[in-house]
Structure 1
Amino acid sequence: MQSAVLGVLCAGLLIVFCVCAALLREIMVLRERTDRLSRLLTEPRPGSRAEDALADVRVTWMSGGWLLAVDSGCPLCHEVVEALGAHAGDATVLLTYDNPGVWAPHWSGEVRADRALWSELAPLTPPTLMHVDTSGRIDTIRLPLNGADALSIVTATAEADRGAIHYA
């Protein structure tokens, strides 16, 4: 009788061991899948940046500076324009498809109504703050959260440029 109890006990321990091994294997598989998924979500893929998607877009009438794409029906656009209007001035150009006069009360700088460029930038949601390099290529795209955010983006770049060494 003792050998029968001992046999059942050993069989039970063997089953518990096999179940624990199977659970440990499933946990390892789940961890590997989770790690792979998190890598896919966090690592940028080639061509996945907005700047890469707009690599062929050229702002032919601009050579360096910030370009702010705005829509008159967008309340956040008005907030950003008011915040930048007093501080950004000549360094930033407004891009719109609307009548440029809509922005006159809050913007003293240049306003461009360029429907062709606006249609190329259509996938982006206004207000969109874009830095244009000297060749007219968009090299940085930012979507400001509010007026203060837009102002900090523009002023941080201006301060970094002031400290940089420029070669002629």
Structure 2
Amino acid sequence: MEDWEAAPVKDTPYKLFEYAYGRCHLFARACHEMFGTRMLAIWDDEFYFEDEDEPTLVLTHMVSVWPDGSWMDARGNVTEAVIKEDYEFEGYLLQELSIKEWEEAVASGKLDPPDEGEMEALKAFLRENKETYQKRWFQEEVKSTTPRLKAGACREIHNEL
């Protein structure tokens, strides 16, 4: 995809850029349903909202994890180092989410719910672009140093990269 950021996701008001920044949890869920990838949440446990004295746990990003441990988001292949640099944070928690945990996070307000018909539109987008994502995925040698985590398990990382 040449200009991936501007690529529209048909039947939604969103561009692909928004599924890399802001709606990434929806993209990861659609990938899980389409490709069987795992959903890996990257939480920032040191985020301070304006006018708050205590840090709040917030989702920084969510990626899809292939069986070989490689990561993918709406941009294609990504690594922990790329994510850390892109989102500019120091410490974070990794948590592999089950569908139930993903749904609980949406129900609790930690994750935004999808718009009506949005998940179906995302899956249609992935079907239309499956070859592009898989082509990117399998042609590049991108390995993650992250071991597979059990759903619900967290691993804290501070300045390891």
Fold shared per TM-score above 0.5 = no
TM-score by length of 1: 0.26
Hey, which of these two has a bigger chunk of strand by percent?
2
Give the TM-score normalised by structure 2. 0.27
